[in-house]
């Protein structure tokens, strides 16, 4: 007897316009031949090594990163993720300073591991109150919900710096491992500080000789459209920078750039088994080359400005939008209840669902989960941006209409 014939019905899969990029990891888009070719070429030679041995692609990528980093006499160490990169920065600074006191920003997110959760300033991402660190949370640049939000940029910045100094003098023992901050907060809803914010904060840090660690896991490599690393826009040179996510366009990668004295502060052995692995190194080299050869930083700036202008026009006719902010292709749209600043969480979920049903993928963030995160790959075109704006406008109008119908 012959086996029964199975008839397979063709199913058309949906096609999406990706404006979230796998949590900002797919930084330069999907199916980029220059990147996939580099990965395939490396896979035919060697799949694995570690930081115990130097390999050519690892050295090449470290040199490219160091050359583009606003760190004095930089050294680079590779790991596997953003959480591990921040843990490494904490290991270096706590060892060098002989202190476990850390200053972090309210609304900051630094990872899901033990030390990074300890420094995360968002209750929804803080899985435990236990901590290896003593953390003091300083004011961030989130003006929309700040008690200093009514002040102009200069006065707002001065108030935040004064508060930082007061906190150091009153709530700590004075000896700090580091101050860690995202130039633009990711999970915190893309809070974007005024231009002078980090220079003013860093001036206070300098008074107490506190190292600055810039967490560039989400903001690095030109995504902000203003500089290779987000902190550069603020005219500040940190002592260490963490990176991950988009550098390998979706493959596992992470690392720390630190001043030589800081990187060499450990007195015990420390290696990373899969850090600096050949496949991720090949991808990282190809990504940086692709960003440079296609001037993607300029594209991020140009398309980002276009998206923000479009979103602000949508906001003029939709009271559901309380704030539009960001830089380059890190854009946040905060949704609030009509006539208030109360977080419109249900409406945010509606917008995400409506956008997805229309073929657009975006993210969600913010302290209250009411901020749309718009983060397309750096290769996004103006036509794709216009399509996304049309879908977002329709989705926000639907969410607003559903809310009005309930009132």
Interacting residues of 249 by C-beta distance below 8 A, sequence separation 6+: 25, 26, 27, 28, 29, 32, 35, 283, 287
Q: Is the pLDDT of residue 155 over 70?
A: yes
Interacting residues of 372 by C-beta distance below 8 A, sequence separation 6+: 332, 333, 334, 335, 348, 351, 352, 362, 363, 364, 392
Same domain, 82 and 208: yes
Helix axis angle, 296-316 to 382-406, nearest 10°: 30
Q: What is the pLDDT of residue 9?
A: 59
CA gap 162, 167 in Å, rounded: 9
Per-residue pLDDT tens over the stretch 52-72: 888 999 999 999 999 999 999
Same domain, 241 and 264: yes
**pLDDT bracket for residue 79 (50, 70, 90):** very high
Task: Report the chain's mean pLDDT, rounded to a whole number.
Answer: 94
- Whether residue 66 lies inside any domain: the answer is yes
Same domain, 371 and 245: no
Beta bridge pairs of residue 181: 214
- In the chain, the number of structural domains is 2
Angle at 388 between CA 366 and CA 320, to 5 degrees: 45
Mean pLDDT of 30-51: 93
CA gap 276, 273 in Å, rounded: 8
Interacting residues of 214 by C-beta distance below 8 A, sequence separation 6+: 181, 182, 183, 229, 230, 231, 236, 238, 240, 241, 242
Same domain, 124 and 256: yes
Bigger pLDDT: 50 vs 244: 244
Taking the CA atoms of the chain, what radius of gyration do you get in angstroms?
22
**pLDDT bracket for residue 303 (50, 70, 90):** very high
- Is the C-alpha dihedral spanning 103, 107, 111, 113 positive or negative? positive
| Structural domain for 377, as ranges | 17-25+295-406
**pLDDT bracket for residue 1 (50, 70, 90):** very low
Q: What is the pLDDT of residue 54?
A: 86
Same domain, 284 and 338: no
**Would strands 330-335 and 321-327 be described as parallel, antiparallel, or unpaired?**
antiparallel
Same domain, 286 and 299: no
Same domain, 254 and 324: no
Same domain, 271 and 333: no
Same domain, 209 and 235: yes
**Residue ending a domain, choose from 293, 327, 343:** 293
Q: What is the pLDDT of residue 52?
A: 85
Q: What is the pLDDT of residue 226?
A: 82
- Whether residue 229 lies inside any domain: the answer is yes
What distances in angstroms separate CA 82 from CA 24, 26, 269, one per listed residue? 12, 14, 21
CA gap 221, 228 in Å, rounded: 5
**Residue ending a domain, choose from 278, 293, 308:** 293
Q: Is the pLDDT of residue 5 over 80?
A: no
**pLDDT bracket for residue 4 (50, 70, 90):** low
**pLDDT bracket for residue 3 (50, 70, 90):** low
**Residue ending a domain, choose from 240, 269, 293:** 293
Same domain, 198 and 343: no
Which CATH number covers residue 280?
Answer: 3.40.640.10
Per mean pLDDT, which range of 91-95, 101-105, 125-129, 251-255 is the poorest?
125-129
Per-residue pLDDT tens over the stretch 225-236: 989 999 999 999
Q: What is the pLDDT of residue 173?
A: 86
Q: What is the pLDDT of residue 388?
A: 98
Q: What is the pLDDT of residue 122?
A: 94
Mean pLDDT of 148-152: 93
Same domain, 67 and 189: yes
Is 252:79 a contact under the CB 8 Å cutoff? Answer: no
What distances in angstroms separate CA 212 from CA 109, 199, 226, one per listed residue? 16, 11, 20
In the chain, pLDDT over 90 holds for what percent of residues? 86
Interacting residues of 358 by C-beta distance below 8 A, sequence separation 6+: 391, 394, 395
Tokens linked to 83: 């959480």
Per mean pLDDT, which range of 2-11, 187-196, 376-385 is the poorest?
2-11
- Whether residue 122 lies inside any domain: the answer is yes
**Would strands 371-374 and 330-335 be described as parallel, antiparallel, or unpaired?**
antiparallel
For the CA atoms of 361, 366, 368, 369, the dihedral, rounded to the nearest 10 degrees, stands at 10
């Amino acid at each position: 007897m012959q086996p029964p014939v199975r008839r397979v019905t063709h199913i058309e899969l949906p096609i999406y316009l990706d404006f979230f990029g796998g949590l900002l990891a797919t930084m330069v888009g999907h199916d980029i031949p220059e990147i996939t070719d580099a990965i395939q070429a490396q896979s035919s030679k060697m799949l694995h090594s570690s930081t115990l041995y130097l390999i050519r692609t690892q050295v090449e990528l470290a040199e490219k990163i160091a050359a583009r980093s606003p760190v004095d006499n930089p050294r680079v160490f590779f790991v596997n993720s953003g959480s591990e990169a921040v843990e490494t920065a904490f290991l270096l600074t706590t060892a060098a300073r002989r202190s476990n006191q850390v200053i972090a920003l309210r609304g900051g997110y630094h990872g899901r591991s033990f030390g990074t959760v300890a420094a995360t300033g968002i209750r929804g991402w803080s899985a435990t109150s236990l901590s290896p660190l003593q953390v003091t949370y300083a004011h961030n640049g989130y003006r929309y919900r700040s008690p200093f939000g009514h002040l102009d940029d200069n006065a707002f910045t001065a108030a935040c710096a004064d508060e930082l100094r007061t906190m150091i003098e009153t709530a700590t023992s004075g000896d700090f491992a580091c101050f860690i901050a995202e130039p633009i907060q990711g999970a915190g809803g893309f809070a974007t500080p005024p231009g002078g914010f980090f220079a003013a904060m860093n001036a206070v840090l300098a008074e107490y000789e506190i190292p600055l660690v810039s967490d560039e896991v989400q903001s690095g490599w030109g995504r902000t459209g203003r500089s290779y690393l987000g902190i550069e826009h603020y005219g500040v040179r940190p002592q260490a920078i963490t990176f991950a996510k988009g550098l390998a366009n979706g493959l596992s990668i992470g690392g720390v750039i630190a001043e030589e004295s800081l990187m060499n502060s450990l007195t015990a052995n420390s290696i990373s088994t899969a850090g600096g692995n050949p496949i991720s190194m090949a991808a990282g080299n190809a990504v940086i080359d692709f960003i440079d050869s296609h001037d993607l930083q300029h594209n991020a700036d140009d398309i980002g400005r276009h998206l923000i202008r479009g979103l602000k026009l949508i906001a003029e006719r939709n009271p559901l939008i309380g704030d539009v902010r960001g830089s380059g292709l890190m854009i946040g749209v905060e949704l609030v209840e009509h006539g208030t600043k109360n977080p419109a969480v249900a409406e945010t979920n509606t917008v995400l669902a409506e956008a997805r049903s229309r073929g657009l993928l975006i993210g969600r963030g913010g302290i209250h989960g009411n901020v749309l995160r718009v983060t397309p790959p750096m290769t996004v075109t103006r036509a794709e941006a216009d399509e996304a704006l049309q879908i977002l406008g329709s989705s926000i109008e639907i969410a607003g209409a559903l809310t009005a119908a309930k009132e």
